[in-house]
A and B are shown apart, each in its own frame.
Chain A
Amino acid sequence: QKEVEQDPGPLSVPEGAIVSLNCTYSNSAFQYFMWYRQYSRKGPELLMYTYSSGNKEDGRFTAQVDKSSKYISLFIRDSQPSDSATYLCAMSATQGGKLIFGQGTELSVKP
């Protein structure tokens, strides 16, 4: 079993839809949770960074962490074609420590 599981998709939604992306994990030591966006043939770009459980909102993006369920989510409101990319969840047990990535979910937002 992988430490971090993420549905690879692909996920296709119409413009304006609310997108829900999720990851589950098995290591209860993880405390730092991140979401990255990666465009094709580019490096990942940090979108959201959350410590421990709770919600964090930044513009159209909301990150949720439920440590009791070992489940994290990223919601994208009013999705745009420019949001089309691969979204990677990542987590670590220590601050600045080794990141464990999910497989990434390929998202396509259709105009």
Chain B
Amino acid sequence: GAVVSQHPSWVICKSGTSVKIECRSLDFQATTMFWYRQFPKQSLMLMATSNEGSKATYEQGVEKDKFLINHASLTLSTLTVTSAHPEDSSFYICSASAGGPGNEQFFGPGTRLTVL
């Protein structure tokens, strides 16, 4: 149980275009979803937290107009990187929490974004 999927697993796009990444909880309802980015050999940095039906809460330094997050249902959250630039190239990982006894976060497999 507790499977989280992401789509696509990798994407290459041109500078200036927008890219949408989907995060789905496959076998549980996720009350909260988190979006992280990870640079090579570095840790995960939280970008934003989203609750179903509410606006996302962004971490300090993360541009909410650039990284649009939508949590439309209890099983789906999307991250759209708008007007992507090469510095946005990174590994984006989502996680989902069902709010169970430990409120553990279960992570998706990640999406590797390369902006040319």
Contacts and interface: CB of A to CB of B under 8 A. Distances in A.
Given A44-B93, A104-B43, A32 B102 contact: yes
B43 A41 contact: no
B42 interface: yes
Contacts of A34: 104
A68 to B, nearest CB: 23
Contact of B44 (A6, A45, A88): A88
Given A44-B44, A88-B43, A104-B43, A99 B105 contact: yes
B112 interface: yes
A101 B110 contact: no
Given A42-B109, A43-B108, A44-B93, A96 B103 contact: yes
Interface residues of A, number: 24
Given A8-B41, A101-B43, A103-B43, A95 B103 contact: yes
Interface string A33-46: 01010000111111
B25 interface: no
Nearest to B107: A43
A98 interface: yes
Interface of B: 4, 6, 32, 34, 41-46, 49, 91, 93, 95, 97, 99, 102-110, 112
A-B pairs with lowest CB-CB distance, top 6: A96-B103, A43-B107, A101-B43, A43-B109, A95-B103, A43-B110
Interface of A: 6, 8, 32, 34, 36, 41-46, 49, 51, 88, 95-99, 101-104, 106
12 contacts: A34-B104, A36-B107, A41-B91, A41-B112, A43-B6, A44-B93, A88-B43, A96-B97, A98-B49, A101-B44, A102-B43, A103-B42
